[in-house]
Amino acid sequence: MRTLKLLWQITIPSLRRLPEAVPSGMRRDPAPTLWSYRYQRLMLTPAYRRLVRIGLPSAVAVLMLGGWFAAPGNRAWLLAEIEAVKNAIQERPEFMVHDIEVIGADRALSVAIHGIADFDFPLSSFDIDLAALRDRVTELSAVRRAEVSVAPGGVLRVVVDQRKPVAVWRYSDGLRLIDAEGVMTGMIASRSDRADLPLIAGDGARDAIDEALALFATAEPIKDRVRGLVRMGERRWDMVLDGDLRILLPAEGAVQALQRVLALHEAQDLLDRDVAVVDMRLGQRPTLRLNQPALNVLRNAAASAGYAAPAAPIEEEQ
Amino acid sequence: MPPLHQAQRAMRALRRAALQRGVIAILDLGSSKIACLVLRFDASPGAVGEESDVGPMAGQAQFRVIGASVTRSRGIRLGEVDSMQETERAIRTAVQAAQKAANVRVDHVIACFSGGRPESHALFGEADVEGPVVTGADIGRVLAACDMPDLGPSREVLHAHPVHFALDHRTGVSDPRGQAGQRLSTDVHLLTVDAAAIETILLCLKRCDLECAGLASAAYVSGIAALVEDEQELGAACIDMGGGSTGLSIFIRKHMIYADSVRLGGDHVTADISMGLQVPHATAERLKTLHGGVVATGMDDRELIPIGGDSGDWERDRRMVSRTDLIGIMRPRVEEILEEVRARLDFAGFDQLPSQSIVLTGGGSQIPGLDGLASRILGRRVRMGRPLRVQGLPQAATGGAFSAAVGLTLLAANPKDEWWDFEAPPERYPARSLRRAVRWFRDNW
């Protein structure tokens, strides 16, 4: 026991650091040790200094982050945390959309747009892909242009520039509605659904819709009698009137040709006569084809008058 | 040529490299303090450009002191390394503090020291000029033609300045390069020191991981700093009263023509006080700097100084000493130093110079009343010299004690042409001996 006590008394004070005994009047020698001198010189070397002050901390940070991310649980937790924060922000009432509003569409189109944008409201505006919605609305054939926005007050506003049908196109699969640009805007079951629109038919009729509209406009005086326009050989138009009367129009200058026909009609009631075809394809030589009875009458009259008959009366077809 | 010649040339190359890097350290290895200045050299001259009439003063605008430190010298006695370990520690202290102040690492060091028993030699050389005009190679040949005196055992050349040239009959040519003439002669001032002192200092610097880019004599560089241009031109002596030794250098026509050192200094004064008053060395130093003097007046009899003997017996040992006693101790030693200096000046023929101004500088010159005593002993009017002002030097380092350090910065900025800066003429022995060998072969076979 005494030995232990002695050891204690000897060792402990020597472990304690005593202040250096410096004689008064003499300053403590501030000389650095060789290694501290070398260390300071090393730290003053620019490259090394940069390495220690920037390189080392960043390396440690990268290592620690890498180690943390190496565990899949940590990654999942971080992703979940990020998702939660994102949701918390996105689900704020300021960002919620409650309703959809369609502007500029008729009822049918409006229903179609509602069918496309059938979100279950309320919904965060971050979850609505406006560009995709706009593309899908624009894909509708009746829509020329669409603007989709989230209006203040949580309303999804779809502003639609609807195509206006100007003609009915009888095609092999049915009756199509065509707008002024030749784009199909929809289909109708029967002609009487849109009796107000003129009828066109034939292959390539859609591509020449401008000319067709001009022709319909020209044919305004005989509007009641016009049945429609038929595109012939994707080249020219035939105007069909009631009573199967056809006006064959040339490929070039169809409107002028029709105006000539209308002028003839005004002067001589051409179209009220028993004519089957008015052929305007050759401008210098408009040609009429009469119906069979008229032709026969004409021939008989010519024969009785003693004229040289242009041809023998043709037997009426049975 | 001695091997130090090669070493000096290598140092010159190192110095050039350091100047290109832009940072160099100045180390004044004194017996009482070690000063370290870190210089930054700028590639462009300072704001005082060529446009104004006042040009940059002798190239001093090129550099700036960015770090300075002073530490108590250890291990250096009489200007020579006494204990290498202690000297290393002192150098490390100074360099580390200066580096820290400058926040830049310094690798190249120019050092000056005062010890090593400097000795001056005057050399004369003569040679024919080879081309129409004098070139550097001609100067090299003239210098090589100098008759080398017996330097004594283990002496090394520290400085070798071509002081002036004579071309044909024209004497006093400071730089003959590019001038026409036939016969070129030169006077060279050679300063030699103990080889061991240089080697030890080089070794100390090497062990501090520093590269020595030049060595200079403290007497020479303090002369550069403390003498104004007229004094250097017309002839003056600079007495650098250091701690361990007193250096003296004589300048004329801006060249040092003589340097010597008296191995007595301020430390001896301190030792006298310490012995005379029975006080520790540190206390004696404090008494000397605070109350010292060399001219006693009646007032000084009444001024009693507590000497604080610090003998451990504070109750009884409360001695007082009058300032007259202190002066009485200091004055004989100072007189002895100055008389020794006077003997050296007489030996060097200082009284033959056209102008004989004397400048006292160094830490020891700050004793009050020293100028009167010095002019009485040296026989001429004496001026107290302070070093030239250089840019960035801290106020604390502008006193006379820093003449050597400041002079070394000036020397680093404007190095003087030394012997080893001129290429020695190539020896033609190899070609001749080869021809002789060929002839011998032809004759015998």
State the residue for tokens 């004589």: B250
Report d(CA B245, CA B31) in Å as an integer.
8
Report d(CA B70, CA B95) in Å as an integer.
9
Smallest CA–CA distance from B286 into chain A, residue: A25
What are the chain B neighbours of A25 within 8 Å (beta carbons)?
A: 280, 282-283, 286, 308, 310
Task: Based on DSSP, count helices (H) and strands (E) in chain B, helices before strands.
Answer: 13, 18
Instruction: Flag whether residue B93 sits within 8 Å of chain A, measured between CB atoms.
Output: yes
Q: Which amino acid is at B308?
A: G
Sign (positive or negative) of CA dihedral B101, B104, B110, B111: positive
Q: What are the φ/ψ torsions at residue B359 (nearest 5 degrees)?
A: -120, 125
Last residue of a domain, one of B278, B298, B332: B332
Smallest CA–CA distance from B106 into chain A, residue: A41
Report residue A4's pLDDT band, with 50, 70 and 90 as the boundaries: confident
**Contact: B93, A41; criterion CB under 8 Å:** no
Structure-block tokens of residue A171: 């095609």
What are the chain A neighbours of B286 within 8 Å (beta carbons)?
A: 25
Q: Which of B99, B280, B282 sits opposite A44 (nearest CB)?
A: B99
Contact by Cβ (8 Å): B92, A37: yes
pLDDT of residue B53: 40
Q: Which of A27, A29, A37 sits opposite B96 (nearest CB)?
A: A37
**How many CB pairs (< 8 A) connect A and B?**
49
What are the chain A neighbours of B104 within 8 Å (beta carbons)?
A: 44
CATH number of the structural domain spanning residue B284: 3.30.420.40
**Contact: B93, A31; criterion CB under 8 Å:** yes
pLDDT of residue A25: 52
Crossing angle for the helix pair B323-348 and B266-277, to the nearest 10 degrees: 150
- Number of Cβ within 10 Å of residue B111's Cβ equals 25
pLDDT of residue B61: 54
Q: State how far the alpha carbon of B288 is from the alpha carbons of B35, B52, B118, B285, B336, in Å.
A: 21, 47, 28, 5, 17
Residues linked to residue A102 through DSSP beta bridges, in sequence order: A158
Could you list the beta-strand ranges (E) of B303-408: 304-306, 320-322, 357-361, 382-384
pTM: 0.64
Report residue B143's pLDDT band, with 50, 70 and 90 as the boundaries: confident
Contact by Cβ (8 Å): A184, A140: no
Q: Is the pLDDT of residue A114 over 60?
A: yes
DSSP track, B386-404: -PPP-TT--GGG-SGGGHH
What are the chain B neighbours of A27 within 8 Å (beta carbons)?
A: 72
**Contact: B103, A44; criterion CB under 8 Å:** yes
Residue B78 lies in a domain: no
| Cis-peptide, bond into residue B132, ω within 30° of zero | no
**Tens digits of per-residue pLDDT, B85-103?**
889 989 999 999 999 999 8
The H-or-E segment that residue A289 falls in is strand A287-290
Smallest CA–CA distance from B208 into chain A, residue: A34
Q: Would you call B188 exposed, middle or buried from its count of C-beta atoms within 10 A (0-12, 13-18, 19+)?
A: buried
What are the chain A neighbours of B95 within 8 Å (beta carbons)?
A: 37
Average pLDDT score over residue span B365-390: 89
Report residue A155's pLDDT band, with 50, 70 and 90 as the boundaries: confident
Report d(CA B299, CA B307) in Å as an integer.
18
- Compute the C-alpha angle B429/B431/B435, nearest 5°: 115
Smallest CA–CA distance from A39 into chain B, residue: B96
Query: Chain A residues with CB-CB distance to B under 8 A?
Result: 23-27, 29-32, 34, 37-38, 40-41, 44-46
Residue B139 lies in a domain: yes
What are the chain B neighbours of A40 within 8 Å (beta carbons)?
A: 96, 99-100
Contact by Cβ (8 Å): B46, B62: yes
Average pLDDT score over residue span B11-24: 81
Structure-block tokens of residue A6: 């002695």
Q: Is the pLDDT of residue B426 over 60?
A: no
Last residue of a domain, one of B151, B167, B192: B192
Residue B25 lies in a domain: no
Domain borders along chain A are 96-162, 165-304
pLDDT of residue B423: 67
Three-class DSSP category at B320: strand
pLDDT of residue A283: 81
- Number of Cβ within 10 Å of residue B129's Cβ equals 22
Report d(CA A302, CA A263) in Å as an integer.
27
Phi-psi region of B345 (alpha: psi -120 to 50; beta: other; left: phi over 0): alpha
What are the chain A neighbours of B92 within 8 Å (beta carbons)?
A: 31-32, 34, 37
**Tens digits of per-residue pLDDT, B271-288?**
999 999 888 888 898 899
- Helices (DSSP H) in chain A: which residue ranges? 2-15, 34-44, 46-50, 56-70, 72-90, 107-116, 130-139, 209-218, 254-268, 292-304
**Tens digits of per-residue pLDDT, B306-319?**
887 666 776 777 78
Structure-block tokens of residue B215: 């060595």
Average pLDDT score over residue span B137-149: 82
Structure-model confidence comparison of residues B148 and B311, the more confident one: B148
Report d(CA B30, CA B405) in Å as an integer.
10
Structure-model confidence comparison of residues B8 and B357, the more confident one: B357
**Tens digits of per-residue pLDDT, A265-285?**
888 888 888 888 888 888 888
Last residue of a domain, one of B282, B315, B332: B332
pLDDT of residue A17: 60
Q: Is the pLDDT of residue A293 over 70?
A: yes
* Domain range A96-162, CATH architecture: Roll (3.10)
| Whole-number percent of chain B with pLDDT over 90 | 25
- Please provide the average confidence, as pLDDT, over all residues in chain B: 84
| Domain count within chain B | 2
Q: State how far the alpha carbon of A210 is from the alpha carbons of A180, A181, A182, A213, A226, in Å.
A: 7, 8, 8, 5, 17
- Helices (DSSP H) in B256-322: which residue ranges? 266-277, 281-291, 298-302
- Report the gap between the CA of A20 and the closest CA in chain B (Å): 18
Range of the domain at B288: 266-332
Contact by Cβ (8 Å): A244, A199: no
Residue B316 lies in a domain: yes
pLDDT of residue B48: 43
pLDDT of residue B59: 47
Residue B228 lies in a domain: no
> For A165-304, which CATH superfamily applies?
Cell division protein FtsQ/DivIB (3.40.50.11690)
Average pLDDT score over residue span B214-243: 90
Is the ipTM reported for this complex over the cut 0.90? no
What are the chain B neighbours of A38 within 8 Å (beta carbons)?
A: 209
**Tens digits of per-residue pLDDT, B112-130?**
998 888 989 888 888 888 8
CATH number of the structural domain spanning residue B185: 3.30.1490
- Number of Cβ within 10 Å of residue B310's Cβ equals 15
**Tens digits of per-residue pLDDT, A5-34?**
877 777 766 666 655 555 555 556 678 888
Residue B173 lies in a domain: yes
Buried/exposed A226-256: b ≥16 CB within 10 Å, e otherwise: bbbbbbbeeebbbbbbeeebbbbbbeeebee
DSSP A242: G
